[in-house]
Structure 1
Amino acid sequence: MDNNFLTIIANVGFPIALSMYLLVRIEGKLQVLSDSINELSSVLVNFK
């Protein structure tokens, strides 16, 4: 029973932890990209 439980945690826990880590990293980069797009939009509006 304990061996099966550890196997399940190893097989499921690692992908979950990796996914959470990558989502946190990507979220910051998406925020920077969104801010850049908004800034570009305002510059283009003022350029006309």
Structure 2
Amino acid sequence: GHPVRRTMGIAHLGGATLDNEENYLIKKLFTALGIVQIENQARV
């Protein structure tokens, strides 16, 4: 199999005061780092 670049041991919870553009950039950054668990406080 191919090595997978992701980890379930790290998560990120964004704040509700961030706007859509900031949340988009944060998601792109943490997805590129291999972090799968990304949530925004506004959705919780």
Task: Give TM class, smaller chain.
Answer: 0.3 to 0.5
What TM-score, normalized to structure 1?
A: 0.33
Higher Cα Rg: structure 1 or 2?
Answer: 1
Higher relative contact order (CA 8 A, sep 6+): 2
Q: Relative to total residues, which structure has the larger helix share, 1 or 2?
A: 1
Q: Relative to total residues, which structure has the larger strand share, 1 or 2?
A: 2
